[in-house]
Each structure stands twice: as C-alpha cells, then as structure tokens.
Structure 1
Amino acid sequence: MLERVLGRPVRPRGAFRYIDLGSGFGVTSSLVAALYPGSEVVQLDLNPAHAAGMRKFNTAAGVDNAQVLERDLASLKTGELGEFDYIVCQGLLSWIGDEVREAVLSFIADSLKPHGVAYFSYLTPRMDVKLIAFRETLYRSFCSASGPSVVRLEAALEECWQMLHDRRWPGLSRHDAFEMLSHFTTRSPNYILHEFLNDHWSPISPDWLQRRLKTKGFGSLWRHEAGGAESGYCVELFVRGKLDELSRRQAKKYTHLLECEPGKRLVLHTFPQEPALLATASREGVVYLAEGFDPAESTAHLERYNRAIIDSKLSDERSFRPLAIHGCGQGLRLTPVQQEVLRALATDRGSSEPLDNRLRRRGLSAVESRRVASSSVPFVGSPEFSALAFLSERIPLGIG
C-alpha cells in the first residue's frame, strides 16, 4: 500500500515488530514472518480454532519468529506487548463491539512506534443497499436456526433458496437475490460467518475513524474506498510521524511487475519508468520484483514455508495462502492449477523433454487460448505460463 503514497515500491529495511490484531488464520502475518525472518511478528486472535490453525501452520512452515496469542483484544494492557512498527487491523473494526473497538484504538495509540504505520480495512455506510438487504435476510434465517454455526449457516442458506423459489424475498428483486445467493453459496463457510453473520457487524464512518485517531495523534496517510460490487469496503493507512521517515525505507530498484488480479491470468511486465504507467501499476493485484536477485542466497526458510502450502492436502490452504517470493518481500496467491505448473517447472528444471509433454504428464496443458473453466483438463495460457516460468526461479520450493 505504501507505494501508492510514496510513488514507488517500498519494503522495510532491518528488523521490525509487526502485530496482526484479529489475525484469523494468519494468512498475511505468517507470510510476513517468513519473508522477514529477522522480524518479530505477533498474531493475536480470540478464536481458539484460529489460534490452533496458526500454530499448526507456522510449525509446518518453519515460521519460528511469529508468536500466537489467544487473547481478547479488550484485555490488553498498556505497554504489555511493547511497541510495534506496524499494526494491522484487517477486517476487524466493523466486526467487533463498541467497547472492544475503543480498546483496539487505545492499544494502537499506546503501542505504535513513532513513524510507525497502522493499517485498517473496514465496512462503511456506503455499502450497496442490495448487499445490506441480502445480509439482513440471511442473518435473520441464521439466527432462527439451531446448532453449531456451520449447521445454522447451511439451514439459513437452504431457507433462503426456498424463499427465492417462493418469490418472497424481502427488499430485493428475484434476480438480485438469485445473483447474491449464488455468489455466496460458493464462498467458504468461514468467510460468510465472519463477513456477514457476525453479531457485531456494523459499518463505520471513515470520518468518525479519522476524528477518533486524530485525537490520539494520528493522521490519515492514504484511503481507498472500493466501488461496484465491493462498494463500502474501505482500506486506510494511518501514520504517526512524518512521511519522509517512511520514504527512507525504500527497497532495491524494481525491474519487473506482475499483474495478478483475482480471477485474471498472470501477466509479466518490465517495470515501467513512465509516471503514467507507474501510476497504473500502483494498484491492487500487482507484485513488484526487485533486481539484485541472487539465486545462490539461502532460501531454506522460504522453501519450507512454500512447501507447507503447495503440499497441503487441504484445498483451503492451497487456495488462500500466498506463496513467498524470494528477493522482493512480497507474496503471491496462486490457484492450485498454477501451483501444479510451478511444481512441474521446478521438478523438471533443465529437462530436455518438450514442455507440453511434461505438463501433460501432470494433467496440464500450455495453450494459446484462454483457460477453459468447464473443461476437465485445466488450461494455462501462454502469457500466464511465461509468468509462472519466470516465477519458478523466484518462488523457492526445494524440489527438482
């Protein structure tokens, strides 16, 4: 996010302390710990299943610089955990009660170092009214069901499909209700339970957040509110201190960028020097690759981290955890199909066997056409394959 503020990609220099409040399964914070083994990462979540999941993954991935705390945010005492360079509140403020929200803001005010950065993502009142109407109906059905959360969710979705069939969905046209119900039926139960069925679900005003943090000595550094289907989702950076201190954390010069927007193929570009192209690159779905990459540099810790993902038998692990890229301080989320192509490239590096033959042996094909989603054979187009071939030298897997 900081490259949007400073006009160029940046990465931390030296050791730093990073805390992920309400970290869930630690998707981002475990990656940070793997990419920066000299850093100290704290992953804090109240949910026992989340804490256990983080500990299990960190152990398998060899992430030993991350501390998992199963704690209530409201129980944190001033100075208890020390000061941090980065404090992350990803998907937190809009899903907790007022008392806990105030405790979080007080913790940040007490714990962020001078010139540190606080990251927030939250819901605003500008959410699509159709999405709000959908959520209200699904939430009522969920609350009226009984049993464990996942069972109640299944019952609520079944009841909503019946309401759609009976043409009695309140506040939405049948078409809109069908579109949203079809979309959310494909999402993971954990996502729906957290994102829409949390009892404390409450959009908050960006102006309110700015006023509250201003009283604690913070200024808003950058804010982005999504539009379209994602309208109402806001990402914001707050800083305590001067911007020029952050700019001193600039990384090596970057030579390539990779477009990797969700649902689209990977496309590799030489890093643009023109200001207009750089502005285009500074958006979601871009990974920056630095020059000075040394293939001989030790990558054992990244190999173990990436293998914990790519060898996982759990499809969720392979779908939502980003792989660590050597030499750029970033990660990249690849689909299971893309991961298999990467595995094939790493395994057969230096092989004289034709590429198509190598991929076919693994049930994959490199073709000029776009991926055909309905086919029984997963297709990977040439531009996408070229990007994966480039990445095969930079995503350590420890195989081949």
Structure 2
Amino acid sequence: MPVISYDAIPYEGTAVEASHPRRLAAIGRLFGLDTPPVASARILEFGSAIGENLNAIAAGLPGAACIGIDNAPRQVEFARQVAADLGLQDVRFDLRDILEVGPELGTFDYIIAHGVYSWVEAPVRDRLLTLCRELLAPNGIAFVSYNCYPGWFLRQPLRELMVFATRNLDAPPDRLVAHARAMAEIVVRTSLDLEARLPGGPLYARVLARELDFIADRPDDYVAHEHLEPTNTPVFFADFVGHAAAAGLQYLGDAWPLRMALPDLAPGIAREFASLARGHIEREQLLDFVHGRTFRESLLCSEGIQLVRPPRPDALRGLSLRLLGDFIGPGEERFDPALPKLAHPGGILALRDPDLLEAVRYLADRRPAAVPAEELAAAVDPRRFWERTAPKLLRLFFHGGLQLEVEPASPVSRPGPRPRAFAMARHQAAREGTMPVALTHAVHEVPPLPLALLPYLDGTRDHDQLARLIVEELAPAARDDAVRAAGVSFATARVALAAALQWLARHGYLEA
C-alpha cells in the first residue's frame, strides 16, 4: 500500500491539552507521587511533529528545558522556526528516530509521547516504553497516548475500506486522501440504501456512516495518518498496562479523570458493575467496554513507587482548581433558578449541596484562573472545607467538572489598557487554519473577530488603536461577515472589540 510520509503531509495537530506538565504533576500528587517542580522541569517529547505542543509548553514555562524528537525533516524544521520566531531559549528539536535515542539525552521529569505508540511497529513500541523507563526521573511521569479497543473495532471497517481503496493507487498524497474519502462515501451510501430496502440488511451501515461523519470535518493530515497509515495498532487498555509493566513502568492514571471514574448510574446497576472488577485496572478496562472507548492518554511512573488509591481529599492541598463547566442560564434547557446546575464535560450536575455550590460559585467568579485549594477553603468555610467540601470537589474532578494543576498559569480575567495575548497563540493565529492554544494549554475554536485580533495583541496597542485596526485593516480584508460588520464605524468597532477581548480573557488567552 502507498505510504504517505509526514514530510508529504505534515501532521499539523495543535497543543495536547492533557499533556501539560502542570496537569501531569497534579494528578501524580493526587495519587501520592512527589512530582518534580514544573517551572524548572526537563521535558522530552517523542513525536513532536511541527512543535505545536512543545513550543506552547516552552513558551509558558521559560525556566524549563525542552527537547522534541521527530524523524520528519520538514516537521522538525518548522518546529525550530517557530521556536526561533518566539525567541524560546531552552527548547530544541532533534531530527532522529526513536530507535537511535539513548541515555545521552539525560533524564527528564516529564516525557510526552502523543500519537506515537499505536502508529509504529512493535520494536519501536517496545523501545518507546523502555526509553520512558530509562530516561524518566525517579518521581517523573510519562504521558503516552494510543488508540484502544473496544471502540476501534467499530472504527476499523472504515479504515480498512480506505486502505483497500488506495492499495494500488499511484498518486500524490492529497489525491490518495481525496480518493479514499470519495470511495468511502459511495460505499457508505450504498450500504445505507441496502439497509433501508432490506429488512435485516447490513446494520453496520450506521456504524460506517457514523465514522464517515466523524472524519468529514477532519483535515487531510488526520485522515492520511490515522486511516491510511500502514501501521495503526489499537490495544486494550489492560494490555497496554501489561506492556508498560514489562518495561518497568506502572500505570498512574489517565490524563482525563473521566476515564477513571464510574459514571452516575442507577444504584442497583452501580453495585452490580462495581462487583465485577478486581482492582482499578480491571475496573477501567470494563469502563472502556461500557463507553466503547477509542483513545486513551495514560500516565506512567516508575515501578516500585507506592501510590495512594483511592486518592484522599486532603491530597488537594497544594493543588489549584480550575472550573471547567458553566452554569445553565435562563433560556437553556434544564434551567431551574431554584436548583442551579453546572454543565461540564462529564454531564450536568444539579448543585443541591450548599457547600459545593458555594465553592463552585467562587471558582466560577475567578475564571479563567486556577484557585489554590487553601484559598478556596479560606473563602468558603475554613472549618469544614476539608471534611465536607473537599470530598465533593474531588468527586467533581473525577467526573470532569474541575481541572487540577500545580504552579498554574495566570491568565487575566479582564483585558488591560494595552491587551497582550499569549505569544504562542499570537503566532498560531497569524497562520491560517490553526487553533490557537491558551495560556492554560486548552485549545478553543476561536470566533472570527477574536482570531483576527490575536496576532496584534502584543501589548503595544491601546483599545482605540485596536478599534481603528478593525475599521481600517481587518474588516476590509475579512471574508467573515461578523468581522466586516464590526468595521462599519469606529463606534461599532469599539463595541465589537470589547466583546472580542472579553471572550479571549474568559478563555485564558490574555496575560498581564
């Protein structure tokens, strides 16, 4: 089958939110691991691609030493250029294969391997985990992402169809991707038509259609390297943990706590499910079957370290909490002024408990900042916080409503007189087709006007100058109606500017 190199179609990607050492360290400390300081950490990334993740980390941690490893010359050169553009002093990108890496690099506090494990042959997977053990500092953490079963059993038919469609095609990479997409669409339409006409027809047509919808909005680099790569090897979570153990590493937890937690279930079902699992590894594997999980981001540490399971509420001491959800407001479904509800990545939480409600409201008022647990305790009820409120916040964390960090970033909640955005976000916004990363390492789909403004928010322009910029430059050149409408007049531009800057502040893009 044709092989599409990363030089032919670079993997654009963006920052990997869950891989930031601030988050890895917090999860480690939650489970009793005395993780290294983040601000001065040594950080290694395997498969650093065009450097969007590591350069963003380095830009936010100027005291850290960062090394990226990748074997695609075009990607490495791009990453180096971005680092130079940003003036990053202690980040470098090495052009080399994982099999060539040895102890000469030294040890690292945090190792990141995103998009590598499932996409390389078995000897490279073995070497990757061996290097994680050999190069990891005693209390360090390795982040390894991979495709996983059982969810990928449902995704594989479409991949195999696209591989089959291009197996004998001698064409440029972009035409290979276009041909694979076109043939997949025809086959899926045919299968859906057959299912509609024949009782008991191919029910899996709906599975194919769902996967086709999933990739429809994905860029060509995703399709090329996820569905047309010769190697894409999903694994069961439990098998990955076993592979890591054979390399001298133990499973610490998942970078997304939702993947570790039992969801809210009817009491009887919850008891039945809990009785099935013998230990946390088996429970998480069973949860993957429940959810049909397709992807994981596992955290590893050295074997022999005694971890604390389950984590205790007082482990929140020394950590900072960032609220991830929003209150459901008037006009939204399920709004109830008598019973506030929080919509967060894990679902909707009815805040019946007054202690938890007070804490969540305090965190909401401080967004986008992360609040030290001790500050939160002093603000809500220092006498009862650790006994009554901390356990509820810990549960909210495992259900997706909170993010925990150490040494958190400090985005501002209101734009200053000369607004300044995160340097990496400014650089990304100046390049068409990117999704800029915030100071918090989160990635958002930025609306058109804030996106157009980002490259100019370097702290040298006041609000009047930015409004004139909208009227004189951004609006006339814009293809988006909202940006053009903002530039109708100076007064209109000032109003639109205020809204755009507030959006950027709320989502963590602005700094002091």
TM-score by length of 1: 0.73
Deviation at 1:119, TM superposition (A): 0.7
Q: Where is the helix percentage greater, Structure 1 or Structure 2? A: 2
CA distance in 2, matches of 1:76, 1:343: 37
Q: Which residue of 2 aligns with 1:306?
A: 425
Deviation at 1:39, TM superposition (A): 1.1
CA distance in 1, matches of 2:74, 2:193: 34
Q: Which residue of 1 aligns with 2:250?
A: 219
Deviation at 1:137, TM superposition (A): 0.8
Aligned positions of 1:70-109 closer than 5 A: 70-77=95-102, 79-109=103-133
CA distance in 2, matches of 1:285, 1:340: 30
Q: Which residue of 1 aligns with 2:220?
A: 189
1:206 aligned to which of 227, 237, 245: 237
Deviation at 1:383, TM superposition (A): 10
In the alignment, structure 1 residue 315 sits paired with structure 2 residue 432: yes
Aligned positions of 1:268-279 closer than 5 A: 269-270=364-365, 273=376, 274-275=389-390, 276-277=392-393, 279=395
In the alignment, structure 1 residue 280 sits paired with structure 2 residue 396: yes
Q: Which residue of 2 aligns with 1:298?
A: none
Q: Which residue of 2 aligns with 1:34?
A: 59
1:235 aligned to which of 297, 301, 308: 297
Deviation at 1:31, TM superposition (A): 0.9
Which structure is larger by alpha-carbon Rg, 1 or 2? 2
CA distance in 1, matches of 2:315, 2:39: 12
Q: Which runs of 5+ in 1 are unaligned?
A: 296-300, 364-374
CA distance in 1, matches of 2:446, 2:453: 10
Q: Which runs of 5+ in 2 are unaligned?
A: 1-22, 195-201, 260-286, 309-313, 327-343, 346-360, 377-388, 415-419, 486-495
Aligned positions of 1:16-31 closer than 5 A: 16-31=41-56
- Tell which deviates more after alignment, 178-187 or 163-172: 163-172
SS of the residue corresponding to residue 136 of structure 1 reads helix
Deviation at 1:100, TM superposition (A): 0.9
Are the equivalent residues in 1 in contact too, given 2:143–2:300 (CA < 8 A)?
Answer: yes
Aligned positions of 1:251-400 closer than 5 A: 253=320, 257-259=323-325, 269-270=364-365, 273=376, 274-275=389-390, 276-277=392-393, 279-281=395-397, 283=400, 304-310=423-429, 312=430, 314-316=431-433, 318-319=434-435, 321-323=436-438, 325=439, 330-337=441-448, 338-340=450-452, 376-377=481-482, 386-390=502-506, 394-395=510-511
Deviation at 1:66, TM superposition (A): 1.3
Q: Which amino acid aligns with 1:377?
A: A
CA distance in 1, matches of 2:155, 2:181: 15
Q: Describe the shift of the 1:395–1:150 C-alpha distance in structure 2 as closer, same or farther (beyond 3 A).
A: farther
CA distance in 2, matches of 1:147, 1:315: 26
2:92 aligned to which of 40, 45, 67: 67
SS of the residue corresponding to residue 146 of structure 1 reads coil
CA distance in 2, matches of 1:278, 1:21: 32
CA distance in 1, matches of 2:216, 2:509: 37
Q: Which amino acid aligns with 1:206?
A: F
SS of the residue corresponding to residue 213 of structure 2 reads helix
CA distance in 2, matches of 1:95, 1:352: 48
CA distance in 2, matches of 1:103, 1:193: 25
CA distance in 1, matches of 2:107, 2:158: 41
SS of the residue corresponding to residue 177 of structure 2 reads helix
Deviation at 1:347, TM superposition (A): 8.1
Deviation at 1:290, TM superposition (A): 6.0
CA distance in 2, matches of 1:389, 1:212: 43
Deviations 1:352-393 (A, max 9, x none): 99x9x9989966xxxxxxxxxxx943799x999755344678
CA distance in 1, matches of 2:365, 2:220: 39
Deviation at 1:214, TM superposition (A): 2.4
CA distance in 2, matches of 1:93, 1:37: 29
Deviation at 1:209, TM superposition (A): 2.6
Q: Which residue of 2 aligns with 1:151?
A: 175
Q: Which amino acid aligns with 1:307?
A: R
Deviation at 1:306, TM superposition (A): 3.3
Are the equivalent residues in 2 in contact too, given 1:25–1:53 (CA < 8 A)?
Answer: yes
CA distance in 1, matches of 2:506, 2:184: 46
CA distance in 1, matches of 2:115, 2:76: 17
Deviation at 1:213, TM superposition (A): 2.6
Q: Which residue of 2 aligns with 1:117?
A: 141
Q: Which amino acid aligns with 1:146?
A: D
Are the equivalent residues in 1 in contact too, given 2:411–2:510 (CA < 8 A)?
Answer: no
- Tell which deviates more after alignment, 273-282 or 19-28: 273-282
CA distance in 2, matches of 1:194, 1:202: 12
In the alignment, structure 1 residue 137 sits paired with structure 2 residue 151: no
Deviation at 1:38, TM superposition (A): 1.4
Q: Describe the shift of the 1:343–1:140 C-alpha distance in structure 2 as closer, same or farther (beyond 3 A).
A: same
TM-score by length of 2: 0.58
CA distance in 1, matches of 2:500, 2:293: 29
**Seq. identity, %:** 18
Question: CA RMSD of the aligned region, Å?
Answer: 4.6
Q: Which amino acid aligns with 1:238?
A: L
Q: Describe the shift of the 1:227–1:332 C-alpha distance in structure 2 as closer, same or farther (beyond 3 A).
A: farther
In the alignment, structure 1 residue 53 sits paired with structure 2 residue 84: no
Q: Which amino acid aligns with 1:186?
A: D
Q: How many residues align?
A: 362
Deviations 1:196-229 (A, max 9, x none): 2221111123223322332443221103377898
Q: Which amino acid aligns with 2:295?
A: Y
Q: Which amino acid aligns with 2:293?
A: S
